[in-house]
Amino acid sequence: MKRFFVGLISGLLVSVFFVVATPVIAQEPYKAQIDALRKAMEKYKDYRVAVRDLYLSTVGCVHYAGEKIAGHMEYAKGAMGVHFVNLTVRGAPDPMKPNVLIYEPVGNKLVLVAAEWLVPLTPETKERPSLFGQPFQGPMEGHEPLIPTQFVHYDLHAWLFKDNPLGMFAPTNPNVSCKSSSFSLLEKPTKIVPGP
């Protein structure tokens, strides 16, 4: 009987190890690339450096209530934050050059929490883009009122500087808040658009 319990406990521990270790192993091939990206983005912890490099603020602090609407993107309850968009970054997504930086308003400061790649859907788009082994979300309409609905696009978030219990590449983060922002913007989920 003692051997049975020892075997059972050993089996459970091995199972728990594999369940817990699997997500870490899945991201392992991209760890060096993600670490390099995080290091390259460190300078943008000062939002003024981002502005000098042409990342311009959309002002609104975007968050979602977690509502589900048929035919629309599903965003878990949480925030994205304040987006700083660089319109000079174009072409295929470059893992070291996101075209959006995301800041969380904390008191009277802006704290860098994430990067985002935004890829427009064009007639030349043949497939869904991906980075770090992650497929982009979309295609979807633009996020009104900050981005016109006609701007159909794919996007991918990477929470480089703030842990996200929903995962590094989830679009929203329940640990991010817009409460400190005078420009808090509760958005509705964007409409899904057929892709290639």
Full domain range(s) for residue 90: 30-186
The model's confidence at residue 27, banded by pLDDT at 50, 70 and 90, is low
CA distance 165 to 172: 10
Mean pLDDT value across residues 3-13: 41
Mean pLDDT value across residues 149-178: 97
| Residue 51 contacts residue 57 (beta carbons within 8 Å) | yes
pTM: 0.84
Most confident of 100-109, 140-149, 181-190: 100-109
- Is the pLDDT higher at 106 or at 8? 106
Torsion, CA 128, CA 191, CA 74, CA 189, rounded to 10: 130
Residue 10 lies in a domain: no
Residue 191 lies in a domain: no
Residue 114 has pLDDT above 90, yes or no: yes
Mean pLDDT value across the chain: 88
CA 166 to chain centre: 10
Question: For the residues of 72-138, what is the DSSP string, one character each?
Answer: B----SEEEEEEEE-TT--SSPBTTB-SEEEEEEETTEEEEEEEEEEEE--TT--S--EETTEEPEE
- As a whole-number percent, the residues of the chain with pLDDT over 90 amount to 77
Residue 21 lies in a domain: no
Domain count, the chain: 1
The tokens for 108 are 């009277």
CA distance 61 to 184: 5
Residue 19 lies in a domain: no
